[in-house]
Amino acid sequence: MNIFDAKDREVLVSRMDASTYDLVIIGGGITGAGIALDAISRGMTVALVEQNDFASGTSSKSTKLIHGGLRYLKQLEIALVREVGQERAIVHGIAPHLVHAEKMLLPLVKDGTYGKILTSLGLKVYDVLAGVEKEDQRRMLSRDEVLDLEPLLENIELEGGGIYAEYRTDDARLTIEVLKTASRFGAHILNYAEVTGFVEENGQIKGLNWYDHLTFREHVVRGQQVISAAGPWVDHLRKKNGSMSDKHLRLTKGVHIVLPYDKLPVKQTVYFDVPDGRMVFAIPRGRKTYVGTTDTDYQGDPGDVRASMDDVLYLLDGLKTTFPNLGLSETDVESSWAGLRCLIEEDGKPASELSRKDEIFEADNGLLSIAGGKLTGYRRMAERIVDIVVGRFEDGGRMFRDCMTKNIALTGGIFPNSRSVADYQGKVEQRLSGLGLDQGYASYLVSNYGRQVDDVFAIYQLREMGDCDKRLLMSELQFCIHHEAVHSAMDFLERRTGRLYFDILSVRKYGDSVLAEMAAEFGWDEVRMGKEREWLQVGITKATVFE
Ligand code: FAD
């Protein structure tokens, strides 16, 4: 059985029905994924259930940076900055094709958020805390040096700037590769499996009721220990479990917009001031530049977060202030996404003391819940909570290994360093030319799949000739169905390939072909096909229509 082959799902479900695991995890975002890999590699038996698709919550809606969080330094969250700062190099090391080193340009403007001295000192402290190599450490720049790097900034009251090192990734791809790596160690991992209740024995949690959204059946999964890594849904499950405390989540919405690169042709990432005193990123990615984020309180359904016209105008306002000559408007916005930050609020404490750190909640019946934190810190969060689980097992006389995830390369990521990624990408370019495909696909393919591009090419060779672009897309689709548990067109178009955000034209052009290929593969009937068409349309509307 290949756990991530969508066609093997029924076998997996039967095994899960019949097993009792050391650990069952709720939530297939980056936090749950990290916990699954940590626990299974220490020797536990592990199951993970995700109500929707993997990374369908916050873990596909972030700014997609593996970063130390400069703004947390401003809030004096020193420990957080140090931890995530140091994690960046580790996450880069285990997936160098997916986590790319990137320079960030921070222009300093008159009366901006950061002054020259504060920036110079802050970036220095940031480098020291994060242990950044000397050659990558921050450099302060004169006005002319900033303009050399980014001529688009010439029409603002520029006083100078700083350039510093961070990493860029794709959050949904990182999540799926961590999950696939956990499955290679033997973890049982299932999407479209919603936890609906808790099974208790003698006042202790011993399993979960879950509902299968693909077969419409109820199941139970049994586990000695249960962790909820349900992101914005953590409190919903804590309430269901009767274990709310005086600490709870406060959700804030963050929106990103995507523009064609030639409309906002920044040479590297720019982290710039917006009129209300916040700062946002403009990040080039292939033929697009994305911009974010906003930060507004959110009370609605965590499963239906979307960008409003106000969000879009806020980001455009910021762009117009920093890049006044580009004449950007709403019509330049091609796509968008919106996600929810989980901040930890404590009864009786003022809003200014909201924490962005991760928090672990331990319930009397044994349920462990974890929320908050960052994509960047997922590995350390996992280590902390799995240590608690190990401690519980040790009390009962069972021992497990120490955390070893810093040395586990993620699937597709068996590269000693960035140079070997570049070499591999060169070979992919040659193969693309040989196949009559645009070489421009190389960086997309290698960032997405790493060495698994070889598997995509193998499928490509077997497919019928015809429109090369479509043939490549369908080869990716086949790879994702059989190796990445894709069950719905949106799993593929939004989270496995990022096309909904970064190539919406291809979604409009090939959406129906993707549906037809999946219908043939899964034997969908007209009812299912109707739903899939609707979900595709809703996905496109959410990304492109703003009210
Ligand atoms: P989620 O990804 O939300 O996963 C929780 C999962 O649990 C969901 O998939 C959900 O479907 C599932 N679930 C819920 N209830 C159930 C149930 N009953 N049964 C089964 N499954 C269930 N961090 C960075 O390091 N860098 C950044 O650049 C960055 N930018 C950000 C920008 C924005 C706008 C936001 C909002 C966050 C950003 N973050 C960033 C933070 C980062 O994205 C989050 O910390 C991280 O994605 C949270 O992952 P998670 O797994 O805890 O939550």
pLDDT per residue over 300-352, tens digit each? 999 999 999 999 999 999 999 999 999 999 999 999 999 999 999 888 777 66
Q: Where are the alpha helices (DSSP H) in 59-201?
A: 70-74, 78-94, 116-130, 143-149, 171-184
DSSP 527: H
Q: Which atom of ligand 1 is nearest to the CA of 293?
A: 34
pLDDT in tens, 61-92: 999 999 876 777 777 778 878 888 889 989 99
| Separation between Cα atoms, residue 439 and residue 433, nearest integer Å | 6
* Rounded mean pLDDT, 510-530: 97
| Separation between Cα atoms, residue 47 and residue 25, nearest integer Å | 6
- Residue among 25, 56, 61, 62 to mutate when testing ligand 1 (max atoms within 8 A of CB): 62
Q: For residue 173, what are the CA distances in angstroms to 122, 185, 410? A: 31, 19, 11
- Residue among 58, 92, 190, 208 to mutate when testing ligand 1 (max atoms within 8 A of CB): 58
Percent of the chain exceeding pLDDT 70 equals 99
Tell me if 311 sits within 8 A of 338, measured CB to CB: yes
pLDDT in tens, 434-487: 998 999 999 999 999 999 999 999 999 998 888 899 999 999 999 999 999 999
- Residue among 63, 70, 198, 235 to mutate when testing ligand 1 (max atoms within 8 A of CB): 63
The overall pTM is greater than 0.95: yes
* Rounded mean pLDDT, 104-115: 86
Q: Is the pLDDT score of 506 beyond 90?
A: yes
DSSP 53: S
59 lines ligand 1 (CB under 6 A): yes
The region, left, alpha or beta by phi > 0 then psi within -120 to 50, assigned to residue 266 is: beta
- Binning pLDDT at 50, 70 and 90, where does residue 167 land? very high
- Does the N-terminal peptide bond of residue 293 adopt cis geometry, omega within 30 degrees of 0? yes
Q: Where are the alpha helices (DSSP H) in 323-452?
A: 378-395, 418-434, 441-449
340 lines ligand 1 (CB under 6 A): yes
Tell me if 530 sits within 8 A of 516, measured CB to CB: no
Judged by DSSP in three states, 334 sits in coil
Enter the tokens of residue 277: 């005193």
* Ligand 1 centroid, distance to 78 Cα (angstroms): 22
The region, left, alpha or beta by phi > 0 then psi within -120 to 50, assigned to residue 242 is: left
339 lines ligand 1 (CB under 6 A): yes
* Ligand 1 centroid, distance to 62 Cα (angstroms): 8
Strands 204-212 and 46-49: unpaired
* Ligand 1 centroid, distance to 59 Cα (angstroms): 4
| Separation between Cα atoms, residue 64 and residue 210, nearest integer Å | 31
* Ligand 1 centroid, distance to 210 Cα (angstroms): 20
| Separation between Cα atoms, residue 443 and residue 422, nearest integer Å | 9
Residue 353: the pLDDT is 67
Task: Out of 28-42, 125-139, 394-408, pick the least confident.
Answer: 125-139
- Residue among 59, 211, 306, 358 to mutate when testing ligand 1 (max atoms within 8 A of CB): 59
| Separation between Cα atoms, residue 229 and residue 34, nearest integer Å | 10
| Separation between Cα atoms, residue 544 and residue 85, nearest integer Å | 34
Q: For residue 316, what are the CA distances in angstroms to 121, 257, 429, 456? A: 30, 9, 36, 38
DSSP 355: B
Residue 351: the pLDDT is 63
Q: Which atom of ligand 1 is nearest to the CA of 338?
A: 34
31 lines ligand 1 (CB under 6 A): yes
- Give every CB contact of residue 133 below 8 A, 6+ residues apart in sequence: none
Q: Mean pLDDT in the chain?
A: 94
Ligand 1: residue whose CA is nearest its atom 18: 195
* DSSP codes of every residue in 472-512: HHHHHHHHHHHHS---SHHIIIIIIS-HHHH-HHHHHHHHH
Q: For residue 339, what are the CA distances in angstroms to 58, 180, 402? A: 5, 24, 33
Q: What is the CA radius of gyration of the chain?
A: 23
Ligand 1: residue whose CA is nearest its atom 8: 57
- Binning pLDDT at 50, 70 and 90, where does residue 117 land? confident
* Rounded mean pLDDT, 512-541: 97
* Ligand 1 centroid, distance to 322 Cα (angstroms): 30
372 lines ligand 1 (CB under 6 A): no
pLDDT in tens, 254-271: 999 999 999 999 999 999
Q: Pseudo-torsion of CA 83, 89, 92, 96, nearest 10°?
A: 180
DSSP 251: E
Sign of torsion over alpha carbons 354, 359, 361, 367: positive
